[in-house]
Amino acid sequence: MNRRVEIARPVGVPLSVEVTSAGGRRPVVLLSGLPSELAARLARAGFAVVAADCPEPEDIGVALDALKRGALNLEGGERVALLAADEAHGRPAAARDVPWLVVLGATDERNVDTIVQWLARHLV
């Protein structure tokens, strides 16, 4: 199931995210700046995925805080990790004790398998 959700930011327009999940209690992966194919692959691997285009690193914090307070209606939101396209976007995750990983070239199947293994170690 895919759905769009708007998350209120402290200032400005809401942050739009796409939630992909088969339902039920699943660990959650927040993606920022990564290809949509990765979201589909992670969902097939058993994760709930929140894909957000976060232009500012602070937007990661907005999305993580929304997950933690249950605003995205995902069971398992207390077990979350961030996959980001750059290190600056990982800092808000680190400040919230959320495991994070910078991913470059994530569309290669071998890289995706390695990412799934890393997520399984940190979330399952």
Using one digit for the tens of pLDDT, what is the confidence trace for 28-56? 999 998 888 889 889 999 999 999 989 89
* Average pLDDT score, the chain: 90
Beta strands per DSSP E along 1-124: 2-7, 15-20, 28-32, 48-52, 80-84, 100-102
pTM of structure:
0.91
Specify the pLDDT at position 20: 93
Q: Please identify which residue in the block is written with the tokens 């920022």.
A: 32
* Strand pairing category for 15-20 and 2-7: antiparallel
Query: Which one is the CATH code of 2-123: 1.10.10.10, 3.40.50.150, 3.40.50.1820, 3.10.450.50?
Result: 3.40.50.1820
Residue 107 binned pLDDT confidence (cut-offs 50, 70, 90): low
What is each CA distance from 58 to 7, 37, 80, 120, in whole angstroms? 13, 24, 17, 26
